Copies of this chain bind each other. A is one copy, B any other.
Amino acid sequence: MTGRALMNGTARLLLGVILAGTSLAAAADMLPSWRDTQTRQAIVDFVVATTTPTSASYVPPAERIAVFDNDGTLWAEQPAYFQLLFAIDRVREMAPQHPEWKDKEPFKSVLAGDMAAVAAGGEHAILELVMATHAGNTSAEFEAIVKDWLARARHPQTNRPFEQMIYQPMRELLDYLRANGFKTFIVSGGGVEFMRAFAERVYGIPPEQVIGSSIRTKYEVRDGEPVIVRLPELDFIDDKDGKPVGIHKYIGRRPVFAFGNSDGDFQMLEWTTAGDGARLGLLVHHTDAEREYAYDRDSSIGRLARGLDEAGERGWIVVDMKRDWARVFPDAR
C-alpha cells in the first residue's frame, strides 16, 4: 500500500463515519419546516430504508431518482400559474410593437385586463399567448427575459417576488434527498426553458434535471454566431400521460420517489410506484387558506380529485400543508 493509498483509505473511512453520522442525525436537522408528523416520519423511513446498505429495500445511488412537479408542489400556483402571469406581462411589454393586438383576442382582453375573457378562451387562448410571448427569440434572449422578469415581478396577492413563493419544506426535502445520494428532477407541465432560468439558483436543480413542456427549436448560425431559435410550434406537453413519457424520454429510468400535487401528476406517481422494490409517492394537499391557499376537487388550477380518492389504496402519502408544514414560504411564518 502506497502512502497515498493509505491516506486515501483513512480519509475515506473518516468520511464514511462522518456521512453515516450525518445521515442519521439529518432527518430532524435537515427538515426543520416539517412538523414531526407521520408524514415526515414516512419520508425519513423511506430514505433510511433505501440508503442503508444492509436494508432489504436498499437502492443503489445510481437508481435514486426523485421527481418533483413544480407548480403547486415546489412553488405556489395561485391565483394563476406564474408562467401565465409572465406571459401576460410580456404581452403588455410587447404591445407597442404589435398594434394589431388591440383588436385581436386573446391579446385584446389581456391588454384590457379582462382575465375572465382570457380564461373563457380556454386552452387555445393560453396557447396563443404562450407562442406569442415565448417564441421568436433565441434561447439566450429568452433566458435573459425570464430572469429579468423574475427579478422585477411581484406576486399579485402577497407582493413577494415569485422566487419567494417557493415552499421552504420542499426546498429542505430536496436538500435532504440529495444529501442522501438522490438525484432530484423537476417533471412539470410548465415550460422547460422558463423553469431552467431559476431552478438551479432557487432549488439547486441544474438545467439537465429539469423536464417540462417545450416548443420546437432550431439551430442557426447568424453572422458566424450559432444560436438556438425558439419556434412557435409545440414540441412536447409534459402533463398527465406525458409525465411518464417525459420521464422515460429524458431520464430513461423509472424513479423511486415522486412528489406532485394535482391529478396532472397522477400518472407520474402511478408509473413511479408501480416499480419493483421500495417506492414512495406523495401529493401536496393545499389545505391552508390562511398561510397559502385551500383548494382541491373544484379548482381549475391544480385540481386534485382522483389522487385524493385513490391515494389510500395506492399507498401514496397525502401531505396536509396545514398540518404537516411548520412553515410554508422562506422567511415567513
CB <8 Å contact, B4 and A8: no
Interface members, chain A 177-221 (any B CB < 8 Å): 183, 192-193, 196, 200, 206-210, 214, 217-219, 221
Tell whether A241 pairs with B253 under 8 Å between CB atoms, given A11-B18, A18-B11. Answer: no
* Docked CA distance A192–B7 (Å): 41
Given contacts A206-B62, A271-B219, contact A192 B252 (CB under 8 A): yes
Taking a contact as CB atoms under 8 Å apart, the answer to whether B11 and A217 are in contact is no
Chain B positions within 8 Å of A22 at CB level: 4, 8
Expressed in whole angstroms, the Cα–Cα distance for A25 and B8 within the complex equals 14
A226 located at the interface, meaning its Cβ lies under 8 Å from any Cβ of chain B in the complex? yes
Query: What is the predominant secondary structure among interface residues of chain A facing chain B?
Result: helix
Q: What chain B residues lie within 8 Å of A252 (beta carbons)?
A: 192-193, 196, 207-208, 210
Find A245's partner among B18, B217, B271 (CB 8 Å cutoff).
B217
Q: Are B249 and A207 interface neighbours, CB within 8 A?
A: no
Please, how many angstroms separate the alpha-carbon atoms of A21 and B251 in the complex? Answer: 34
**Of residues 243 to 301 in A, which have CB atoms within 8 Å of B's CB atoms?**
244-245, 248-253, 267, 270-271, 274
Q: Are A207 and B251 in contact (CB under 8 A)?
A: yes
CB neighbours of A4 from chain B (8 A): 18, 21-22, 25
Determine if B219 and A241 form an interchain contact, defined as CB atoms under 8 angstroms apart.
yes
1/0 per residue A213-238: CB within 8 Å of B? 01001110100011010000001000
A-side interface size class: 35 or more
Least CB separation from A267: chain B residue: B219
For A235, give the chain B residue with the smallest CB separation: B249
A217 contact set on B, CB distance < 8 A:
245, 248-249
Q: How far apart are the CA atoms of A117 and B36 in the complex, in Å?
A: 70
24 contacts between A and B (CB under 8 A): A4-B18, A4-B21, A7-B14, A7-B18, A10-B14, A14-B14, A15-B15, A62-B200, A183-B208, A193-B252, A196-B252, A208-B208, A208-B252, A210-B252, A214-B249, A217-B245, A218-B245, A219-B244, A219-B245, A219-B271, A226-B244, A228-B245, A228-B248, A235-B249
Sample of 10 more A-B contacts, CB < 8 Å, known A14-B14, A221-B270: A7-B14, A11-B11, A139-B248, A192-B249, A214-B249, A217-B249, A219-B241, A219-B244, A225-B274, A226-B244
